Amino acid sequence: MRRRLAALLLVTGLLAASCGDDDGITETAIVGDTLTVYSSAPLRGPYAEVARDIVRAQKLALKEAGGRAGDFSISFASLDGADPETGRWSPGRVASNARKAVQDRQTIAYLGELENGASAISVPILNEGGILQVSPRDTFGGLTARGGRGEPDKYYPSGQRTFARVVPGDDQQATELVAALRAGGVQRLFLADDRELGGTALVDRLVRLTRGTRIEIVGRARLTPDDDAEDGIEVPSGLARDVREERADAFLYAGAYRPFATEVLKAVHAANPRVDLYAPDDLALAPDLPAEAGAAGRRLLLTGVRAPDDGAAQTFARSFQSEYGTGPHPQAVFGYRAMRIVLDAVRRAGPDAKSRRRVIREALAGAQSPQIRFGRFMVRANRLVPIRSQM
């Protein structure tokens, strides 16, 4: 995944970062009184359910605003970020979505991405194009905090930030995971990731955060996922054995959700039934995981973004139910908030909303709510249940 990311950014000439003031951001004059907001989300595959409700929530926010923000009419365009064959997000598809937004002279903002690490593809493209990006759900930490080499600056070729997210990043998720590991009395931890950007970066953060603690990293496996469900998904035969031989008391898998991720957890549990299992937000977000985990689910603790349940979130849920005839996915509220950030920024910018720079400044000033945090979850009766002591 890292090789694919680097290759794509090099091809588009977006890998280098620079410094400067607002002059680093491309300014394209928007003509007329109609502004366009693009949305990019995986509308097929394992995250399709939450993605569809996030897009519905974005449309709802726009409808409640009368299709306008200030003096401007707002049009909405929804793009699918998933590969038609695999159902998972692909760098090429995400890059195409971002380029489409850049090429539209009426674009004022882009809402995306949803899956961890996908925004690392779209952010540089949109940043060079001078377009505000608000992610409702991508937690990849390297976009907003120091992580791998050159992060986060390498994603912003203009030298100015143009990206905000509604939810906290993986730098905070890593802290929550370490707290959960310590609370669980873990002393010998075995780590595994799927070689993709989000999972690898999260494991790197965990390695750094556990230094100087009583948690010893006794092994790390970088796995190449097997997605061939028709012939049977194969988990590396030596993984469960390595966990046992290293006398690990906990195993943590970080990576995108796919059947392979579930099979990894099940294989480790089958060979090491007393080992506690941990997984991050990517798996907590997947609706099929609780039912598919089987017996491994009883040993599994996950961290995930905790959906708000305040008065505003409850009002949103009622409006969603009234509009669509069904209740929203709990995470859909983040799509609603992402659109509200854009609409409020345009409104505050007033007549200057034709200036993308001005809208970016207004949006970044108040994007993320400090009330939204990572929480801990367990699997019970084929459902993901919050651990109330952490609420």
The whole-number pLDDT of residue 3 equals 43
Cα gap 301→260, rounded to integer Å: 18
- For 324-369, the pLDDT digits (tens) are 999 999 999 999 999 999 999 999 999 999 999 999 999 998 776 6
Predicted confidence band at 47 (pLDDT cuts at 50, 70, 90)?
very high
Q: From the options 3.90.1640.10, 3.40.50.1100, 3.40.50.2300, 3.40.47.10, give the CATH code of 171-306+374-390.
A: 3.40.50.2300
Residues of the chain with pLDDT > 70, as a percent, come to 91
- Reference 272, options 290, 295, 302; nearest CA is 295
- For 84-123, the pLDDT digits (tens) are 988 889 999 999 999 999 999 999 999 999 999 999 999 9
Predicted confidence band at 8 (pLDDT cuts at 50, 70, 90)?
very low
The whole-number pLDDT of residue 370 equals 67
* Least confident segment among 2-16, 80-94, 187-201, 246-260: 2-16
The whole-number pLDDT of residue 2 equals 46
Residue with tokens 């290759």: 7
pTM over 0.85: yes
The amino acid at 363:
A
DSSP state of 82: B
- For 136-151, the pLDDT digits (tens) are 999 999 999 999 999 9
The whole-number pLDDT of residue 86 equals 85
The whole-number pLDDT of residue 27 equals 74
Same fold, 2-168+310-364 and 171-306+374-390: yes
Neighbours of 188 (CB within 10 A): 17
Residue 190 has pLDDT above 90, yes or no: yes
Predicted confidence band at 232 (pLDDT cuts at 50, 70, 90)?
confident
Residue 159 has pLDDT above 50, yes or no: yes
Residue 21 has pLDDT above 70, yes or no: no
Q: 2-168+310-364 adopts what CATH topology?
A: Rossmann fold (3.40.50)
Bridge partners, 122 (sequence order): none
**Taking the domains of the chain in order of start, what are their residue ranges?**
2-168+310-364, 171-306+374-390
* Least confident segment among 10-24, 136-150, 232-246, 279-293: 10-24
The whole-number pLDDT of residue 277 equals 99
Pick the more confident residue, 389 or 348: 348
Q: What mean pLDDT value characterizes the chain?
A: 92
Checking phi first, is residue 272 left (phi over 0); if not, alpha (psi -120 to 50) or beta?
A: beta
The whole-number pLDDT of residue 87 equals 86
* Least confident segment among 139-153, 292-306, 361-375: 361-375
Tokens of 39: 């949305």
The whole-number pLDDT of residue 22 equals 52
Cα gap 243→56, rounded to integer Å: 43
The pLDDT of 182-203, averaged and rounded, is 98
The whole-number pLDDT of residue 198 equals 97
The whole-number pLDDT of residue 373 equals 94
Decide: 297 and 290 in contact? Cβ < 8 Å.
yes
Residue 298 has pLDDT above 70, yes or no: yes
Predicted confidence band at 191 (pLDDT cuts at 50, 70, 90)?
very high
Tokens of 368: 């993320």
The whole-number pLDDT of residue 389 equals 52
The whole-number pLDDT of residue 229 equals 67
